[in-house]
Structure 1
Amino acid sequence: MSTPKISRRTFLHAGGAAIALPFLEIMLPFGKTAWAAGQAPLRFACLFYPHGTTQDSDWFPTFVNNQLIMNASGMLSPLDPYVADISFYKNLMADNWSLHPGGVTTFMTAGFTPQQNVVNTCRTTDQLIADKLQATGLIHSIAMGSDELSGGEASISGIYGTNISWIGKETPNTRLIRNSQIFDLIVPGGSSTTTTTTTTSSKTKSRQSVIDFAKDSITRLNGKLGSQDKKTFDQYLTNLREVEQKIQATEPPVTPPGNLTLNPAMATCSSLASKGSCADYSLDMDIKMDMIALAFQADRTRVMTHMFDPEPGYRNMSFISGVQGLAHEISHWRNDPAKLGPMVQKINKFYASKFARLLGRLKSMSESGGTVLDNSIIMYGSSMMDSHNHDVTNLPLILAGRAGGNLQQGALRTFPTRTNMSHFHLSVAKKFGAAVTSYSGTSSTINIG
């Protein structure tokens, strides 16, 4: 047998929705594994968190007995279970002079900004990788973000502080915020197929899942699958339903074909005058991490980015235990190191826990030849190290995943002082075979693993 029994682009139709399938053995030619057939899909994601950290001595781990040991500051302790799946990089510099907005814009380009308050943009790394990984039926890339927008700084427009993914010069990638909109890309028609029914006697409402509409198709497909494929498929449906339930719990149903409007709007705690908790922000981040994992498992897109928040950002971070105040004000921790320094570290730990959530999801997703994490590169970091000094000479940066065996992990890699990030981005793009010989002013790569 030379052809797959089921096409990689098979969809289960559920009313008006279409559920893509995860990567299964049954999709491969007879007698071949995914790696032998060269068919395991590769994925790339970039997670950006705002306002950097305290200082490099609080960020970098040590390397003892061939294993990373997380820093005693504790802000990266959520990554302890994944030390064999990640690597740290020292002395990477973003060559910009435009503080918060410029740092965000150049995070994925290292675009040279020769003078203060000037921002240069270009097609970012994620787009170069998406060009290479694009295939029939795939969404080219998905850019996500929070409900906050940057107000700009020092005559620089807030558009620069709000976008890390750029299609081209002065053209940001469309940044999606609403979870149901993103879910509809992953499961076409998903939120419009999900319906609300009312029980007359109790007046209670229950919402059906897209999975409910596809029961017959799911049963037929299960009859064709081997034991490992059944486990993979069942896990995938479980993940899909969990994401769907979280979105249903935070957003009202939509009657097709109208546009979804939150009523009431989700609380944001983004106002300068806001006080108290922002419980929905943490949940929103969980949902977005789970949707990255779901989209990668279903192979709906192979490239996604998410900005945890823009810069400068003024979210009230008081929902984190031991933290009180607004993100940007806390980030200037040297104004009161004893009080604000620990707060910055707690905020960093909160962000790291979301990164760890994604790694855990991807690592739990088995596919032929390994896991979804094995077949991915996940970039995590910020546009400055010391947030008080806006230090861009040694960025906090982590790569996770193995790019299908093309990236070695579990290392602390040190480069010469002030190594421009453009070398790093070109090196990452080449791990995916992107057809680019130079990028952002350099044609030289560095050893990223």
Structure 2
Amino acid sequence: DQIIARHVGRDTMLPSLEMSMRGEGYFSNSLPRNSISWVNTKLPATRDTNPRTIYDRMFRKASEGVTDKGVIDLVNDQAKSLKRRVGQADQRKIDEYMEALRAVERRMEFAEKQAGKSALGQARGVEFKRPPVGIPDDHETYMRTMMDLMVLGFWSGATRVGSLMLDHGQSNRYFDFIDGVRGTWHALSHYRDISGKTGDDDGINSWKTVSQKRDMYNEVTAWHHRQFAYMLGKMKSIDEGNGTLLDNTMLLYGSSLGDGHAHGEENLPIIFAGGGGGTVRSGRYLKYRRNYSLSKYHLATMQRMGVPVEEFAEVDSPMSGLTKRV
């Protein structure tokens, strides 16, 4: 996503939007464990967990700070003149400064467009309500609010690239709000351990059989599927004139593990949704050969977004059967 953001992000106020649900338990404050978007192989992208903060980044802050475009133009001209008279190190500093100015310009232009977009959105039933302070106590409300914000970011044009991490891999979040489920998400993922006495357990809950624990784990998985379905429904309800927002978007939903107990990285369950502007063939179940890399999907997505790249990670060809010819 960050490679795509570097390619298309100059055209939007936010190059990309990185979000994650606030974690619970061990490693909840660890940035690497709570990030699925990485700037490079060593640096995770800073992510937001607070709905109001995310909303303000996209909308309210657009009207703050410098408001005179003439001043920005003047400073730009002076920076360009200065750049011709300094060494390479100072030139790089000036480039960084000018990019910051361009970001301000994008915010100003976006703010000007937003008034008309908001009126149009209200006419079409798209709400632009600012989230309340803090993080909702109800987990479903929290997650759906975060999904609403991503949908709003895409529809408003604030960004074309976004990610939302639903929880980190060792989450100690309890899902006892689901009928018949007890234990933390991480403990339930190790469904073959039923004693409740391993390092993955809370020392309180135990289970009678592997089948019982696995069923609870599946209920948690199904709950997350329903939240994703909610997001797709929201996007499908927004008419953009040339199709719905869902028709004009590509979404990847899934997990980095095919088996939570064994930490298996094979047979990953992945849903690819959206029409990609009419370039993607959807509504099919595709089964690939053993060791078929998910990187092929990422390469295909980058190419759909116009990134001039022929290889990614360990692959040099995109996922087959995914896209239509354009």
**Which of the five TM-score ranges fits, normalised by the shorter chain?**
0.7 to 0.9
Structure 1 distance, partners of 2:35, 2:24, is: 9
Alpha-carbon spacing, 1:363–1:173, altered in 2? closer, same or farther (3 Å)? same
Gaps of 5+ in 2: 65-110, 194-208
Q: Select which of 107, 128, 138 maps to 2:3.
A: 128
3-state SS of the aligned residue for 1:411? coil
Using the TM superposition, give the Cα deviation of residue 430 of structure 1 relative to its aligned residue in structure 2, in angstroms.
Answer: 1.0
Which is strand-richer, 1 or 2?
1
Given that residues 149 and 158 in structure 1 are in contact (C-alpha distance below 8 angstroms), is that contact kept between their aligned partners in structure 2? no
Partner of 1:144: 19
Amino acid at match of 1:146: M
Structure 1 distance, partners of 2:123, 2:222, is: 32
Q: CA offsets per residue over residues 276-319 of structure 1, 9 Å max, x none?
A: xxx52221101001111111110100111011110111111111
3-state SS of the aligned residue for 2:143? helix
Q: Select which of 116, 128, 146 maps to 1:240.
A: 128
Aligned length: 258
Partner of 2:39: 167
Structure 2 distance, partners of 1:423, 1:231, is: 38
Structure 1 distance, partners of 2:263, 2:292, is: 17
Alpha-carbon spacing, 1:355–1:191, altered in 2? closer, same or farther (3 Å)? farther
Alpha-carbon spacing, 1:150–1:324, altered in 2? closer, same or farther (3 Å)? closer
Given that residues 248 and 275 in structure 2 are in contact (C-alpha distance below 8 angstroms), is that contact kept between their aligned partners in structure 1? yes
Q: Select which of 283, 286, 289 maps to 2:141.
A: 283
Alpha-carbon spacing, 1:393–1:363, altered in 2? closer, same or farther (3 Å)? same
Q: CA offsets per residue over residues 44-71 of structure 1, 9 Å max, x none?
A: xxxxxxxxxxxxxxxxxxxxxxxxxxxx
3-state SS of the aligned residue for 1:144? strand
Amino acid at match of 1:405: G
3-state SS of the aligned residue for 1:379? strand
Alpha-carbon spacing, 1:134–1:191, altered in 2? closer, same or farther (3 Å)? closer
Matches within 5 A, 1:124-273: 126-148=1-23, 151=26, 158-189=30-61, 232-235=121-124, 238-241=126-129, 244=130, 247-248=131-132, 251=133, 262=134
Q: Select which of 365, 368, 377 maps to 2:238.
A: 365
Structure 2 distance, partners of 1:393, 1:434, is: 28
Q: After TM superposition, where is structure 1 displaced by more than 3 Å over at least 4 residues in a row? A: 149-152, 157-160, 189-192, 229-233
Alpha-carbon spacing, 1:283–1:230, altered in 2? closer, same or farther (3 Å)? closer
Partner of 2:91: none
Given that residues 12 and 160 in structure 2 are in contact (C-alpha distance below 8 angstroms), is that contact kept between their aligned partners in structure 1? no
3-state SS of the aligned residue for 1:376? coil
| Aligned-residue CA RMSD (Å) | 2.7
Identity %: 28
User: Which of structures 1 and 2 has the larger relative contact order (alpha carbons within 8 angstroms, sep 6+)?
Assistant: 1
Q: Could you tell me the TM-score, scaled by structure 2's length?
A: 0.73
3-state SS of the aligned residue for 1:172? coil
Gaps of 5+ in 1: 1-125, 193-213, 223-228, 252-261, 268-278
3-state SS of the aligned residue for 1:305? strand
Q: Could you tell me the TM-score, scaled by structure 1's length?
A: 0.53
Given that residues 150 and 162 in structure 1 are in contact (C-alpha distance below 8 angstroms), is that contact kept between their aligned partners in structure 2? no
Given that residues 150 and 310 in structure 1 are in contact (C-alpha distance below 8 angstroms), is that contact kept between their aligned partners in structure 2? no
Partner of 1:43: none
Structure 1 distance, partners of 2:213, 2:62, is: 44
Alpha-carbon spacing, 1:165–1:230, altered in 2? closer, same or farther (3 Å)? closer
Q: CA offsets per residue over residues 159-206 of structure 1, 9 Å max, x none?
A: 4322110001211111101111100122133899xxxxxxxxxxxxxx
Which is helix-richer, 1 or 2?
2
Q: Select which of 158, 161, 165 maps to 1:307.
A: 165
3-state SS of the aligned residue for 1:417? coil
3-state SS of the aligned residue for 1:355? helix
Given that residues 58 and 158 in structure 2 are in contact (C-alpha distance below 8 angstroms), is that contact kept between their aligned partners in structure 1? yes
Structure 2 distance, partners of 1:347, 1:430, is: 34
Using the TM superposition, give the Cα deviation of residue 337 of structure 1 relative to its aligned residue in structure 2, in angstroms.
Answer: 2.1
Q: CA offsets per residue over residues 102-132 of structure 1, 9 Å max, x none?
A: xxxxxxxxxxxxxxxxxxxxxxxx1122223
Matches within 5 A, 1:14-53: none
Using the TM superposition, give the Cα deviation of residue 233 of structure 1 relative to its aligned residue in structure 2, in angstroms.
Answer: 4.8
The answer on 1:413 being equivalent to 2:320 is no
